[in-house]
Every structure is written in C-alpha cells, then in structure tokens.
Structure 1
C-alpha cells in the first residue's frame, strides 16, 4: 500500500487531463492534495479503505441514505478507481486495484498542450484467438443448457507495444462521443483512460440510480431498427435489469425500487446501445461500502445469477480483467455542499503500463448467442479506442 504526494496534478506544459466523472465546472480549477494506491496483495478491504480515506478528507461515506454535508469545504472531491475482484492475474499488474485521489480547489489554470514526438502503437496481440473466443461462447451456452446460468458476460483482452507520451493518446480516448465518464487517471508507472458511457451508481439526496447497458449495434438506421427489434437483445437486457433491481433491493427502502426507463437507445461513438434506468431510495444507515457491496461488480459485466456467472467467466476468460469492468468516477458535493456520488463502470477502458497498452471488451452470452457475432461485437467495441490511440 502506498500513499503518495501529488502525481496527477495539472502542471504547466501538460494536456488538461481531468479525472473520470469530474464536474465540468471544476475542470482547470483543482489540484491534487493526496492519494492512496492499493494492490490486492496488500490485504484489507478496498471499500473500507475508500471510506476511511474519504473521511480523512472530510467526505462522510458511512451513511449516504440522507443528504450528508461534506465537512471540509476545501475538498473538491475524490477520484476513484476500483478494479473488480479477481483470482486471475491482471495483464497490467502495475495498475493498482484501488486508487483514490483527493483534490482541492485552487487558482484557475489553463495547461498548454504538449509539443513533442507523437506516440506510437504497435501491432495488437489478443489474449485469445477468434476461434478460442467462439469456443468460450459455446461453453457458456452449454452452461446455460445445464441450468447453471442464464447469461454470462465474457471479457477478452488485447495489448500492443506503446511508445511516447501517453497523455495526448489517452485524452483522445476520454473524448470519444458518448463517454459519460470520459477521463484519465495516472500514477508514477501507469496510465488509465476510460470512455465509459455506463453508470454503476449515482447517489444524491439518498436516491441511488444505476443505468445498465446491454445490447449493441452499429450506429446506423438499420442498426437501430435491428436492436429495437431483437428479441434476443431485449431478453438479455431485461435479465440484467432484473438483476440490478434485486441488487438495489438489498440496500433500498422497502418498495422504493423502480425501473424509470427500459431499453432506451443511446449512442456511444459509432454504436447504438440499449440502456435502462433503475432507481431506489436507500434504506436508513446505508453507506457507500454497503451499496457497492450489493451492486459491484455491475450486473451488466457479470451476468445472472451473478456469482454463478462470475464462476463461469473466470474459468473461460484468457486473462484477468485488471482495471476494466470495475468502477471509476467522482465523489464530491453539489452547490449546497451536499454529498454527490457518480461512479461509472470501467468499460471502454485503456491502460498503459510497462511499455504496453491494454484494452478489454466483452459481451453478454445467452442461449441464442451466435459465436461469430459475439466475436465481431467485441471487435466493434475496441475499434474506436484503437483509432483514438493511433490519433
């Protein structure tokens, strides 16, 4: 475990790299105060470490069921990265499993863009061949036929040599269209950018919202019509919505869980995706650790039933998920000083460490999934990120 001094801070001569979920009004006005980086080998509970770190900066997370105030008004907020629990080693072990960075308000600054040699990305090397990916899809279908699971999210990985300054390349990733949680975090030996569109949890005034995404098609008129008309995609999506409803019910006031929007079509880069909105009123006394214990990892990146789906995916996936399919975002306060939490899922995520850039992509597998189509969907999700990295 390490507690470091300023590492990310906005310095003259750097690209203006904001953290995932940082409110637009705070960009260019904050400075890093302190941070905590943790690896699973360090031992301990990352959710409790997050609560303790936040409390040390005047941000109470032990009870988020009401409208607690941020005690230290000089704290703008805390950037968070949480990797999903895994028994499979990450292909990017230099990236911590948990990062919390506390920021404070400071004078306004307008960093200049770097002028130097462009970065280069070498040839991509997937951790499994398309035939192996397709075979894993068939294995999931077999597990479904046995009644072990209903849907499993399978995640693959690819990496490539990377040379040069990561900042401009990752800034392009974070700026991809539809990136609700577009942003960059970095340490002394690692960088991470996310272009995630998906909300894991958003909490304000004791109300929690999650927005699961399931269902993908090319962002064309035909693709939209195909997604809206797909019985397979809709069934898969509804299963995950039901899972999210059940997860929230574990920490919600009785009778408060509701689906506010079902199967809405949103655009991310060159893709249509189906998104729903599920909300609830938190039960009295629920803290952030309790909430994340109920909903994390997110159902859209695990499957259903959640624990059984995780077991199947762990057996079939070629490498660990590392920082992908976890959580990232911002814990801060609104204009009235009341606590506000906005954490997304680290889908559409790139990590750079030890001279390589890493990408992950997955998709939900159900009984009528087509293996070749699933392989193509994963490639479609990484294509915009690869293009952004190349510039």
Structure 2
C-alpha cells in the first residue's frame, strides 16, 4: 500500500523539521485510506468498526498552529494504532482474509500441474514440489502422483471455500482491535456528541420558546387586549347607546372565540392532546387526516415509547409531512412506525420527484439535529425522479401496554 509506505517514510523522518512538516498531511492521507478499509470491513464481515480519532479543533494559521496540530496528531493513540496496522496487516492478512483465496488458487494450480505443467517441468529439467508431491520428469506417466495432486488440489479448494466466511470474520475482529476506537477516544467522541446535542437541544428549546412567545404576543394576547378595550367601551355605552354596546359585545364574543382557538392551536403545537392521550401511532394518524396529501399510516408498536422520545418523533414526522406537501410534488405518502431491537423506527416515503438533500441547512438537517439529542439517526434516500424515503431510528424503551381512553 503506497499510502502506508509513505506514512512509514514520514515517521522515519519525524525527528527532522521536514518530518514535522509532512506528518499531518501523511496522517490525514492514511486516515482517509483506513476509513475506506473500515467501510469494507463493515460491509464484508460481521464486525462493526467506528471511526476512532479524537476530535480535531480548527486549524490555526502560522508555524504555531502547525506545531499544535502536529502535537495533537502525534499524541492521538489512534495514529499509532494506524501505524501498527500498516506494519502488521500485510502479514496477518495472509493468514486470515487472504488465506481462503490462496488455498483456492493453490488448488487450481494443482489442477494445472496435473493436466500439463508437470510434464513441462520435467521436460525442461526442472524439479518442484506440489505439497508433498515431487514434480519430476516422468510425472505425467505416474498415475499415483497425478491422482495425489488432484486430491490435494481438491482438498485445498474445498478448505478455502469452507473457511472463507470464518476467516473474513477473524480479519474483521483483528481490524476492530487495531482500527477501532480506544477507551479514550470513545469517551472523547461521546463527550463531543453530548456537547453538540446539548447545545442543539438548548438552541431548539430557545427557538421554541421564542415561537410560543411570538404566537402569544401576535395572536391570543393581542385579541385579549382588544377584547378588554371593547369591554371597557361597552361599560361606558351601556346606558347611552345600548345598540352599539350590543354590537361591541358580539365582536368581543367573536374575539374571545378566536383567542380560544389560537390558544388551543398553540397547545397542540407544544404537545398535542391526542399524543398525550393515545400515543404516537394515533397522533400520526390524526396528522394524516388533516394533511393535504393522501397519507397512509401503518403502526406496529406493542406499547408506547418514553414521552420525550414520542414527542420528538411526532414533531419530526409532522415536519417531514409538511416538507413533502411543500416541496416533493407527491400525491401519496406512506408512514411506517415499528419497534425493532430497542429502536423506534419510522419510515416516511413519498412518490414525489425526489432530489431531497441534507445539505445546505435544510429542514431535514434540523430534524436530524433534534433527534440527535436522543442519539437518534436520520437516513435519506432521494434519487432524482423519486421516491424519497426518510428513515429515522431513536433508541428507547417501551412502557408497559396501556389502554387508551375511549
């Protein structure tokens, strides 16, 4: 591997200024290469390897910034585990992932030797061995040696095919041991994730409070103030102009009804009563009834998630449905809710024109950040031409089954 050889070369120069200068770029190049290795191991084996590197702060300009970056990289344990991988993997891969392939190739070579190569080796005066079988002149006339060659070759191919999956998994465990996160990096990554999600949760809460305050100020509060002024005017008009007082009373009654309606809408925006009473399955079905698109909801939840998770999932689905109505050009939407392996899994699919993306600070990115507060993840599949599939998973425990009130 050229990248590994370059990294080893740079490490050998680390005592010089040139080594210090080249070390960060060599480390980042090697990390990019090993990220690809992790992806392949995750795909081809039963092992899951997370990225182990400690968080890297912003790169500072100048020589001091370069020196700080060098120190951060050289003190990261994952850097030296990568170095250990580069040195040991070319040997260990021969006895793990590559061994089945080598056995199959050796078996195929045995068939070739038995067919005609053995005769050529003997004819040209060479001698060789295939396993314990000596290949000499006259080999092609010795039936016992040819049969032995075929038996050994068949055994090698069978062994290679038999141990292939097991050797891949052994290689995956070796990869996780070296390329996976250490305790220190796991803790640092966890702290960074919690810091980011806490900051996002605080920002989301502040934004929600501002929205509630704005809705109260512009809606119900303004109507209640106007209604109070109308009642004051009515008080003065009762004796002098009862007819006008009656008109103002009717207007005040209408204002109170509108204020009540706005307060109910505000409460539903904070925590819908149907969500509190009947759970997320029925709450999403209620959303579907009021949606401009045709929405089909399938819910397979044995009981209810914890209230905070349930609320986060409900508002995430609500925003995705709103985005589908505004931007997707879809006619139908399918929502599937189920609980699998300790995860609340929600899939929202529409038949729109596709092309949705998480880039550029879209609404989907905001949803991803909000469910990240609960260690949730969001996956998007939206090829141009559609369909768009949004999948969310939130780890949670379900409460004991509860009978919904009638």
Q: Which has the higher strand share?
A: 1
TM norm structure 1: 0.27
Q: Which has the higher helix share?
A: 2
TM norm structure 2: 0.26
